[in-house]
Every structure is written in structure tokens, then in C-alpha cells.
Structure 1
């Protein structure tokens, strides 16, 4: 279990939510990772829409980690 990673990720591609638990985003959007303990889906907070939900991890890249600053 990973206690609040505080990673910021940036979208590499557009993604349209397929489930009510998913978060839609467009390329370039930034999201804060709330939980990355699942291998395929990360729980995030979308920093523009403030929507919280799941995203496919392979659609984003880690922009920065707050811990490493």
C-alpha cells in the first residue's frame, strides 16, 4: 500500500471515460496521483476539472514527484 504518493502526471493522449468511475482527460492535462497501488488503473484527482477517479496508467507520464523536490 502506498500512502499518498503526491505524484503529478501529465496526459500523453486523450482518454474518454468508459465507466462512471473513470476520469476523462485530454493530452497535456495534469492530475495528482492519489493511489497507484493497482497495476493498471491509478486513482487520480484531475487538477483542472477536480474530478476524482480512475485512469489507465499507460496514458500518462509522471511529470514530477513532490517527494523528490
Structure 2
């Protein structure tokens, strides 16, 4: 599956996606091999709702230009 180029806003995430139980892009339940997809941003009035979201291995392997490059430390 080809992942979208940007993470969806928090307001569009399901309960499972928001809590890291489902892939942020395809919605499949995550059991093993989940990969961090970044931080989904959002707010409700003065409340910041940003959360770390995860992707399944298939979606994580798809190229997405909005993801930051991985930095290897020596």
C-alpha cells in the first residue's frame, strides 16, 4: 500500500489510530512490527492533542516525502 505524503490531523484519526493500536494510514490493527510514523498534530480550542502515531510495516515501507530522514548515529 502506498502511504499518503502527510499525516492526517488528529481530528480525523480513529480511537485505535490515535492511541497507537492501528496503522495511521490504512487502519489495520497493529500487533507486531509497528513503526513510528511521526506526530499527528491537532488541537481543540486551547488544548493540544498532538500524539505519536504508528504505521504497519507495509505502509511504513512506502516512500513518503513528509517523513524526516532517519539519522544514524556513529
TM over 0.5: no
More strand by share: 1
More helix by share: 2
Larger radius of gyration: 2
TM-score class normalised by the smaller sequence: 0.3 to 0.5
